[in-house]
Structure 1
Amino acid sequence: MEENSEIWREFYEKALSRSHSQHTELAVRLNESSTQVAVDCGCGTGSDIEYLEQKGYQVHGFDINPDAVAICRDRFGSKTLVEICHSSFEYYEYPKAGIVLANSSLFFADPSKFQKIWGSIESCIEIGGVFSGDFMGVEDSWASNYRSPTAPLTESQVRSLFARFEVIRFTERNEQAKTSLGKMKHWHTFSVVAVKRMQ
């Protein structure tokens, strides 16, 4: 576990200089709900939280990694619109939200609890609200024998999650490329931006 925390620490140092996701901007533009509340699942160092807070959103961020939580609490401690929580997907209490982000975080959700986790995420999003996030594909090199459990899905499994949504953007990535720490791996991911149309 110690080796894991070293890797995450190095990752967060690099991530601090990263700007928010373009998909987060799109989510803000698409949000037709009257709810100015956003949830950032696996918030990391908070680049998307900063952007959402500047747009006037009340932002709830959570992460399972204590380093990420400490960084965000330090970064946003004076921001009354931001609440940071140390939690995992399955134990987090999701508030009603107009936007839910899960940027590269659902990869590491407990696979045995994935359906329950997705149910919680889906039901917290208001009608007209937006989900923006990434799912791990089955061909990803972290899909098996990774140092912690991962939750790989097929394309049809990912698409089936969005029966109550209008999918605005659906992108598959399937290529060899470097991680943010400079190591080569095979990436297989699905990135989705979708607007909730029915309960």
Structure 2
Amino acid sequence: MVENTEIWRQYYDKALSRPHSNRTEFAVRLNESNLKVATDCGCGTGSDIKYLEQLVYQVHGFDINPDSIAICRDRFASTSLIEISESSFESFDYPKSGVVIANSSLFFADPNHFEEAWCRIKSSIEVGGVFAGDFMGFKDSWAENYRSPTAPLSESKVTSLFSEFEIVRFFERDEEATTSLGRLKHWHTYSVVAVKRT
């Protein structure tokens, strides 16, 4: 557990200097719901929250890691638009949102409760709202025997999650590459941007 904590701390040190995701910008442009509310699932150090705040979005960010929460609470202490919660995918109380971001975070959802968490995420998105996030594939190095449970999915399973959506972007990554801490691993992920239609 100590090693785990230290790894996350190193990750957050690196992540603090990282800009927001281009995909978050794309998701905001696609939002047709007229609801300027966003949820950032697994918000990390808050780079996407910072961008959304600049667009005057009300943002609900959550993460299971206390270090991440401490960083975000400190970073956004002066704004009433941002609400930060220490929570898991399974226990978070999802508000109605026009944009839901899950950048590299759903990998770590509890696999035994993934369906239930996904249903809650999906129903929180307003019609015309957007989901933008990543899912882990079965060939990923972390799909088995990782230091915490992961939730790998097949491509067909990922696409089936979006029956009520129009998928605007779908990208499969399947390659050897380094992590943000410079360690080599096999990445197998599915990245999705989708607009809710019903």
AA matched with 1:137: G
Cα deviation for residue 34 of structure 1 reads 1.6
Q: For residues 105 and 27 of structure 1, what CA distance do their matches in structure 2 show?
A: 17
Q: For residues 159 and 23 of structure 1, what CA distance do their matches in structure 2 show?
A: 18
Q: For residues 36 and 118 of structure 2, what CA distance do their matches in structure 1 show?
A: 21
Identity of aligned residues (%): 70
Cα deviation for residue 59 of structure 1 reads 0.3
SS of 1:43's equivalent in the other structure is coil
AA matched with 1:148: S
Match of 1:72 in 2: 72
Q: For residues 56 and 128 of structure 1, what CA distance do their matches in structure 2 show?
A: 19
Match of 1:111 in 2: 111
Instruction: Identify unmatched segments of 5+ residues in structure 1.
Output: none
Name the TM-score, length of structure 1 as normaliser: 0.99
Q: Deviations over 1:152-198 (max 9, x none)?
A: 00100000000000000000000000000000000000000000000
Name the TM-score, length of structure 2 as normaliser: 1.00
1:46 aligns with 2:42: no
Cα deviation for residue 71 of structure 1 reads 0.2
SS of 1:142's equivalent in the other structure is helix
What's the Cα RMSD here?
0.4
Q: For residues 68 and 9 of structure 2, what CA distance do their matches in structure 1 show?
A: 8
Q: For residues 193 and 53 of structure 2, what CA distance do their matches in structure 1 show?
A: 20
Q: Deviations over 1:101-154 (max 9, x none)?
A: 000000000000000000000000000000000000000000000000000001
Q: How many pairs does the alignment contain?
A: 198
The residue correspondences of 1:82-161 to structure 2 (distance < 5 A) are 82-161=82-161
Match of 2:190 in 1: 190
Q: Deviations over 1:2-55 (max 9, x none)?
A: 110000000000000000011100011000002110000000000000000101
SS of 2:142's equivalent in the other structure is coil
Match of 2:58 in 1: 58
AA matched with 2:69: V
Structure 1 runs, 4 residues or longer, greater than 2 Å off: none
Q: For residues 128 and 154 of structure 1, what CA distance do their matches in structure 2 show?
A: 26
Q: For residues 36 and 184 of structure 1, what CA distance do their matches in structure 2 show?
A: 38
Q: Deviations over 1:62-121 (max 9, x none)?
A: 000000000000000001100000000000000000000000000000000000000000
Q: For residues 151 and 121 of structure 2, what CA distance do their matches in structure 1 show?
A: 15
AA matched with 1:102: A
Instruction: Identify unmatched segments of 5+ residues in structure 2.
Output: none
Match of 1:27 in 2: 27
SS of 2:141's equivalent in the other structure is coil
Q: For residues 2 and 95 of structure 1, what CA distance do their matches in structure 2 show?
A: 33
